[in-house]
A and B are shown apart, each in its own frame.
Chain A
Amino acid sequence: LAKTTQPISMDSYEGQEVNITCSHNNIATNDYITWYQQFPSQGPRFIIQGYKTKVTNEVASLFIPADRKSSTLSLPRVSLSDTAVYYCLVGDPYGGSQGNLIFGKGTKLSVKP
């Protein structure tokens, strides 16, 4: 199982770009990298998913180096409402075994005014 390591917490200010890095040294060939956001007392919400290089959507960008042993979630110009816990997951979406989709402890991002 691909285990992930993220910083426990990060602080930022409104308007700044925030980069959260996740390490996954044992990522398998068929694994994808997925990031979720969770607000208190709510279920996590999908943010972005990628396999290699760079993926961008309306919310965030995901940077994955060639060796895929880490990934960086980039949130442009954060606001107070981006204060949440961010989880990095790795897993094979088409492998049939769903038990390898493990949520770690996540990174608690606090955005200050």
Chain B
Amino acid sequence: DQQVKQNSPSLSVQEGRISILNCDYTNSMFDYFLWYKKYPAEGPTFLISISSIKDKNEDGRFTVFLNKSAKHLSLHIVPSQPGDSAVYFCAASARGGSEKLVFGKGTKLTVNP
């Protein structure tokens, strides 16, 4: 039961270019979406979130876009830096907050110098 899907297991981009990570969901009850970054041997680190009442949220180099009709969200990183290389998880909640987050499988981003 894949309620949150990240269809690209990996993505490779050049330093300075844009990284676009995609996430699709099936549960129309989801109303809060988060992106987490994870380095090996560490826990997920919160990056950015968006509630279903918005279609865009921006924080520095990171922007999340939400298309509710398509049940799709994306994370844009501009410009990409080598330190951004990590696994990025999309997560969703139907509770408006952080309870019972449903995670995608993750996308491994590699930013090449």
A and B interact:
no
Task: Give the interface of A toward B (CB within 8 A).
Answer: none
Task: Give the interface of B toward A (CB within 8 A).
Answer: none
